Amino acid sequence: MKVVNTINEVRETVKAWRKQGLTVGLVPTMGYLHEGHASLIARASKENDRVVVSDFVNPIQFAPNEDLASYPRDIDRDAKVCEENGADIIFHPTPEEMYHKDFSTFVNITGPSEELCGKSRPIHFRGVCTVVSKLFLIVSPDRAYFGQKDAQQLAVIKRMVRDLNFDIEIVGCPIIREADGLAKSSRNTYLSPEERKAAVILHKALEKGKELVLNGEKSAKVIIDTVTQVINSEPLAIIDYVQVVDFPNIKVVEDINGDILTAVAVYIGKTRLIDNFIIENGKEK
């Protein structure tokens, strides 16, 4: 397992693998890896001959008021997680390696990027689609792995791959949780012990909403009101959004007929956490 810092070295390495007829999986991450990332890397390693993990806190997906500077980073620890889960290289570029001083080309996606996090973070998905496109062009993987933890991101990337004809299979992977149900996230490290306890309210609220949908509730408003009420019972929680949308188009629905995503974004203190559930063909995905 090797840490690689330059685009050229990744290209040369992948070229050599291709000459041997090997398949390549890519796992894009922002680092500070946890068991959620590990599950993606392990799956990629099972399904491909070689695995590249990108480890890059992408500046262009953060607004000026967001947590770019404080985002946790630990490349040595990340290298261990990658090694243990079967990755071959970590691509860990500097921002200067990825973005020229006068960088001016962006991948701008409409449609599934417009609701949920797209409303709260207007430049976010443009930054995500731009960096993921660059990673796809640098690594040219056969498959790329994304977590359902960021369900809207997964839908956005699938749409981008379809629209721009990237010849890459996008593999969605289940949400990995802490024992009490909190979705694992690099941002959980921001939480004080008291906030960490409070953060379980996202999962509790979504479980209540999921139970209603699985028992046949058809009104999105009833789901939203129930989830909102549970979250508001926690004094440290401030809701950014609670929304029900169709999946994977990410359009707001009033009646639950087909596949749906129920997604929440909640501030616990200063930390913004997201979580969700998807119901596909009447069952939890």
| Contact positions vs ligand AMP (CB under 6 A) | 29-30, 36-37, 39-40, 146-147, 149-150, 173, 175-176, 183-186
CB of 169 to ligand AMP, least distance (A): 15
Nearer to ligand AMP, 8 or 94 (CB): 94
Q: Which two tokens stand for residue 3?
A: 């840490």
Nearer to ligand AMP, 199 or 220 (CB): 199
CB of 19 to ligand AMP, least distance (A): 29
CA distances from 67 to 16, 61, 113, 188, 254 (A): 38, 11, 21, 13, 34
CB of 34 to ligand AMP, least distance (A): 7
Nearer to ligand AMP, 88 or 150 (CB): 150
> Residue 147 in contact with residue 154, Cβ under 8 Å?
yes
> Residue 24 in contact with residue 169, Cβ under 8 Å?
no
Please identify every residue annotated as catalytic.
Answer: 37
Q: Tell how far CA 4 is from the center of its chain.
A: 23
CB of 29 to ligand AMP, least distance (A): 4
Number of neighbours of residue 218 by Cβ within 10 angstroms: 12
Residue nearest ligand AMP, CB atom distance:
147
Q: Which two tokens stand for residue 212?
A: 């209603």
> Residue 271 in contact with residue 191, Cβ under 8 Å?
yes
Provide the CB-side half-sphere exposure for 278 (13 A, CA). 21
Nearer to ligand AMP, 117 or 183 (CB): 183
CB of 62 to ligand AMP, least distance (A): 12
Nearer to ligand AMP, 44 or 237 (CB): 44
Element (H, E) at 264: strand 260-268
Q: Tell how far CA 110 is from the center of its chain.
A: 18
Those residues with Cβ within 8 angstroms of residue 19's Cβ, 6 or more apart along the chain or in another chain: none
